[in-house]
């Protein structure tokens, strides 16, 4: 249940409880979440997500900085910060082997490499 908070002047106190239910927001409206959105949310809740930030020099076709790997629900950054840092470093080396990178080549190579790396390292994904 939710709580009712009552304010009087500078004082606040819990004044009771109120029944609540889940409200899902998909960015377009409240309560009208479609099946696809719900399915995606269930997948994220079960499997988590890894996000990779890549910065490319389009002219030289090279990375301008090391990839940054962020996760939510897949590995917890507090406990597995090293896994994310190592995966970014290894991905940087993998991408450096490519003669020239563009967005598509970098994206496809990152997905292929990290799927394999995370599976082999964690036996999960």
- Shared domain for 41 and 53, answered yes or no, is no
Which residue reads 């959105």 in tokens?
37
**pLDDT over 70 for what percent of the chain?**
83
- Shared domain for 61 and 78, answered yes or no, is yes
Longest Cα–Cα distance of the chain, Å, equals: 68
- Shared domain for 39 and 58, answered yes or no, is no
- Shared domain for 75 and 105, answered yes or no, is yes
The CATH number for 53's domain is: 3.10.20
- Shared domain for 2 and 27, answered yes or no, is yes
Q: Could you tell me the pTM of the whole model?
A: 0.63
Residue 93: the pLDDT is 96
Q: Which of 28-32, 48-52, 102-106, 116-120 has the lowest mean pLDDT?
A: 28-32
* Mean pLDDT of the residues in the chain: 83
- Shared domain for 40 and 55, answered yes or no, is no
Mean pLDDT of 40-68: 86
pLDDT band (50, 70, 90) for residue 18? confident
Q: Domains in the chain: how many in total?
A: 2
- Shared domain for 60 and 38, answered yes or no, is no
Mean pLDDT of 31-47: 73
**Which residue segment(s) compose the domain that 59 sits in?**
48-125
């Amino acid at each position: 249940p939710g709580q009712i908070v009552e304010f009087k002047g500078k004082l606040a106190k819990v004044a009771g409880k109120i029944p609540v239910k889940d409200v899902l927001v998909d960015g377009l409206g409240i309560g009208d979440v479609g099946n696809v959105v719900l399915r995606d949310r269930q997948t994220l809740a079960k499997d988590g997500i890894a996000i990779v930030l890549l910065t490319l020099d389009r002219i030289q076709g090279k990375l301008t900085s090391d990839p940054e790997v962020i996760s939510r629900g897949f590995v917890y950054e507090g406990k597995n910060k090293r896994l994310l840092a190592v995966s970014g470093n290894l991905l940087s080396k993998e991408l450096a082997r490519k003669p020239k990178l563009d967005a598509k080549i970098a994206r496809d190579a990152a997905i292929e490499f990290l799927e394999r790396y995370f599976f082999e390292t964690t036996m999960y994904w």
